[in-house]
């Protein structure tokens, strides 16, 4: 569990560093503008962030943190839902600015409290006066203390106002605010930042020209969320640092949710965390999912039951079956021997991961530049493919190898160099040989090049000879010869080498990119139950409601409710009966008919003999039950009272969902 917390922290750290990197250039710009503020233009940054609104929160928070650290203490974050009118906006703005001022220096605490007490006067001019007073104070009162901070911030730090979601602000509020602040731009160095989710055209749509001409807008495009995702996958999944791994199907589910539904990195990370929790919760052997250093200790402390658990793992059984009989008996009966073996296997798994990642990257280098991307453009697609099954058995792999055999020399050389770099950076010992081999290839290529240049020299000299000859026929002949010789000799050599390289890569892939399912004890570190995850993440309220009402047995776990096919059981809760009856109706439901049907269903089993008494007069209790059930359905949003006919209700759902 602590590993998980660990991970969380690391994740956020990764994210923030990533974001701050993407924003660092942006701040430089900010500083620049405030210097060249001219006329009545308000320097404005339009930050195009993409539609993944859920992630923006984090972005803006880190952005404001960074701004606060480096440029100005005065940062206000405004959200559209807080600012329905200009008044609320100003209040919010003042509150935030003055609070953040308190944070910065506690000296002015009393002063600020006083100000906020009569905050009833929220206008720009009071903001200006506040700003002047604080700026003066920071200059004069505590020069010694302020020295370091004023080296960080400058003399008159700008006030940064961030509008988180530009689209949701009402037009009038924004217009008014901009007009007002443009009046005061000389007294109050204001910088606006608009967070834009769709496209910058929205500025023109929201603001008329007279207002937008008051802004000095500069556009910044943040990285697309897809790139964001791939960096996160890169950092989280394709490292050997974290022992926990995602299975192929699970990863596919997560990525599908990301691509199909929300583009939200935050949700992706949430899903990932859910996987972690689920894995540690459901898999009893997940104690062994830890860093290499701890494995020995944990393996030693395994109890007998846990050993039995290991023996029950399908992958372990497969492994045992492959051993000779004596060892089989040992493995199945002797706990300590099992432990030693397990440790060995786990270490093997660890090494496998390290190798897997680096070879995967190498393969990605090759495949990502091929035309049409038979194995996918992103490394995550390649990763999924490799996790699911033996990648070299797929057609895509075949075709990509075919294509790789047709690469030209420059590309090939650069790719090889990249591979060498990747392998060098990975710490696996086994790669020494591989690196050597690749380097050998490289030198061969260089030799080829050298030869080629030599040949070129030759050809140049021959061309010089040619120039001496004036005979046209001879010239043609020699040219043809030259061309032919070039084709046949040099290219064959190059091609040979190319084939060799590709074959070698192929062999590497076959050796290292074995799908994880084939490895022994993979269950310990891989989370593979995609169905569970899908159930958790893809909430389907309508379907759930439908099953609950149509088939109450599913949730209530009551044997009596187990219904048979299409019939309506009278033991089910009233609302279920009503629901089933309403499914058979059209758009408008006659309440009287409905009640009639309901009472027949209820009466059918209860007292078949008492129908004489209540044949035409419906029992009051049943009536009340019916009314309650109907109002419950209305609450759930299946029906609503219709205005067309008084004794009818309208259905709101079509079909049975």
Site residues, another protein (CB under 8 A):
32-33, 36, 38-39, 41, 43-44, 46, 48, 50-51, 53, 86-87, 118, 121, 123-125, 165, 167-168, 176, 179-180, 183, 197-204, 209-210, 212-213, 215-219, 221, 224-226, 257-263, 538-543, 637, 640, 652-654, 657
Phi, psi torsion values for 418, nearest 5 degrees? -60, -45
Nearer to another protein, 42 or 362 (CB): 42
Task: Give the nearest distance from C-beta 347 to another protein in angstroms.
Answer: 41
For 231, residues 6+ apart whose C-beta sits below 8 A from its C-beta are 18
Q: How many CB atoms lie within 10 A of CB 360?
A: 21
Task: Give the nearest distance from C-beta 234 to another protein in angstroms.
Answer: 20
Task: Give the nearest distance from C-beta 65 to another protein in angstroms.
Answer: 25
Task: Give the nearest distance from C-beta 210 to another protein in angstroms.
Answer: 6
Nearer to another protein, 290 or 591 (CB): 591
Contact predicate 318/325, CB 8 Å: no
Nearer to another protein, 65 or 634 (CB): 634
Task: Give the nearest distance from C-beta 132 to another protein in angstroms.
Answer: 15
Task: Give the nearest distance from C-beta 611 to another protein in angstroms.
Answer: 38
Question: What is the bridge-based pairing of β-strands 245-246 and 215-221?
Answer: unpaired
Q: What count of Cα atoms within 13 Å lies in the side-chain half-sphere of residue 36?
A: 6
- Paired residues of 613 in beta bridges: none
Nearer to another protein, 221 or 488 (CB): 221
Distances (CA, A) of 251 to 52, 147, 396, 422, 531: 20, 52, 20, 24, 12
CA 191 to chain centre: 31
For 612, residues 6+ apart whose C-beta sits below 8 A from its C-beta are none
CA triple 460-465-471, angle to 5 deg: 125
Task: Give the nearest distance from C-beta 87 to another protein in angstroms.
Answer: 6
Nearer to another protein, 157 or 271 (CB): 271
Q: How many CB atoms lie within 10 A of CB 481?
A: 11
Distances (CA, A) of 298 to 285, 291, 391, 571: 11, 10, 34, 53
Nearer to another protein, 259 or 458 (CB): 259
Nearer to another protein, 29 or 562 (CB): 29
What whole-number distance in Å separates Cα of residue 625 and Cα of residue 647?
A: 18
What whole-number distance in Å separates Cα of residue 556 and Cα of residue 35?
A: 69
* Distance separating the N- and C-terminal Cα atoms of the chain: 40
Task: Give the nearest distance from C-beta 155 to another protein in angstroms.
Answer: 20
Q: What is the DSSP letter of 224?
A: P
Nearer to another protein, 259 or 613 (CB): 259
DSSP per-residue letters across 124-149: HHHHHHHHHHHHHHHHHT-HHHHHHH
Task: Give the nearest distance from C-beta 114 to another protein in angstroms.
Answer: 11
What whole-number distance in Å separates Cα of residue 63 and Cα of residue 21?
A: 10
What whole-number distance in Å separates Cα of residue 216 and Cα of residue 221?
A: 16
Helix (H, G, I), strand (E, B) or coil at 656: coil
Q: Look at residues 164, 153, 156 and name the one whose alpha carbon lies nearest to residue 195.
A: 164
At 441, list the tokens: 């290839």
Nearer to another protein, 36 or 468 (CB): 36
Nearer to another protein, 179 or 410 (CB): 179
Task: Give the nearest distance from C-beta 353 to another protein in angstroms.
Answer: 31
Nearer to another protein, 90 or 568 (CB): 90
Task: Give the nearest distance from C-beta 88 to another protein in angstroms.
Answer: 11
């Amino acid at each position: 569990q602590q590993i998980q917390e660990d991970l969380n922290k690391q994740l956020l750290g990764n994210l923030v560093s990533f974001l701050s990197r993407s924003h660092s250039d942006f701040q430089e710009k900010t500083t620049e503008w405030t210097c060249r503020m001219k006329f009545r233009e308000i320097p404005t940054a339009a930050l195009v962030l993409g539609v993944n609104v859920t992630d923006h929160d984090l972005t803006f928070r880190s952005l404001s943190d960074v701004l606060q650290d480096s440029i100005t203490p005065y940062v206000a974050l405004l959200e559209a839902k807080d600012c329905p009118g200009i008044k609320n906006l100003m209040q919010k703005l003042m509150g935030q600015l003055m609070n953040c001022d308190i944070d910065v220096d506690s000296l002015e605490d009393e002063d600020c409290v006083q100000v906020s007490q009569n905050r009833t006067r929220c206008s720009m001019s009071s903001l200006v006066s506040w700003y002047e007073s604080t700026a003066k104070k920071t200059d004069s009162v505590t020069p010694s203390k302020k020295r370091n901070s004023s080296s960080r911030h400058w003399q008159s730090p700008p006030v940064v106002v961030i509008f988180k979601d530009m689209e949701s602000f009402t037009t009038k509020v924004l217009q008014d605010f901009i007009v007002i602040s443009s009046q005061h731009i000389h007294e109050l160095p204001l910088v606006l930042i608009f967070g834009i989710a769709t496209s910058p055209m929205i500025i023109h749509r929201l603001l008329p020209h007279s207002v937008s001409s008051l802004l000095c807008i500069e556009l910044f495009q943040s990285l697309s969320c897809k790139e964001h995702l791939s960096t996160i996958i890169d950092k989280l999944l394709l490292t050997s640092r974290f022992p926990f791994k995602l299975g192929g199907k699970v990863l596919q589910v997560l990525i599908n949710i990301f691509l199909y539904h929300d583009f939200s990195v935050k949700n992706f990370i949430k899903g990932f965390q859910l996987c972690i929790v689920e894995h540690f919760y459901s898999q009893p052997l997940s104690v062994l999912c830890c860093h290499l250093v701890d494995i020995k200790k944990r393996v030693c402390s395994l109890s007998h039951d846990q050993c039995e658990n290991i023996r029950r793992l399908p992958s372990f059984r497969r492994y045992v079956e492959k051993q000779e009989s004596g060892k089989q008996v040992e493995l199945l009966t002797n706990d300590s021997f099992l432990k030693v073996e397990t440790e060995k296997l786990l270490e093997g798994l660890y090494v496998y991961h390290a190798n897997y990642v680096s070879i995967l990257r190498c393969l990605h280098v090759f495949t990502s530049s091929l035309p049409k991307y038979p194995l996918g453009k992103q490394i995550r697609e390649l990763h999924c493919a490799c996790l699911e099954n033996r990648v070299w058995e797929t057609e895509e792999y075949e075709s990509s190898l075919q294509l790789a055999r047709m690469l030209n020399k420059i590309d090939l050389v650069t790719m090889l160099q990249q591979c060498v770099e990747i392998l060098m950076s990975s710490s696996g010992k086994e790669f020494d040989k591989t690196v050597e081999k690749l380097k050998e290839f490289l030198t061969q290529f260089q030799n080829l090049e050298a030869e080629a240049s030599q040949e070129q020299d030759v050809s140049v000299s021959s061309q010089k000879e040619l120039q001496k000859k004036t005979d046209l026929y001879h010239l043609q002949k020699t040219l043809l010869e030259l061309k032919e010789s070039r084709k046949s000799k040099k290219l064959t050599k190059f091609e040979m080498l190319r084939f060799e390289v590709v074959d070698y890569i192929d062999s590497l892939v076959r050796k290292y990119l074995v799908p994880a399912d084939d490895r022994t004890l993979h269950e310990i570190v891989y989370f593979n139950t995609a169905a569970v995850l899908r159930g958790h993440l893809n909430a389907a309220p309508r379907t759930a409601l439908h099953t609950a009402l149509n088939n109450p047995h599913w949730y209530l776990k009551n044997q009596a409710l187990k219904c048979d096919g299409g019939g309506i059981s009278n033991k089910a809760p009233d609302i279920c009966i009503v629901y089933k009856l309403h499914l058979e109706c059209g758009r408008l439901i006659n309440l009287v008919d409905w009640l009639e049907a309901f009472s027949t269903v209820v009466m059918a089993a209860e007292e078949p003999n008492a129908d004489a008494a209540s044949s035409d007069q419906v029992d009051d209790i049943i009536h009340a039950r019916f009314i309650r059930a109907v109002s419950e359905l209305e609450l759930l949003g299946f029906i609503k009272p219709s205005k067309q006919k008084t004794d009818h209700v309208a259905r709101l759902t079509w079909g049975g969902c």
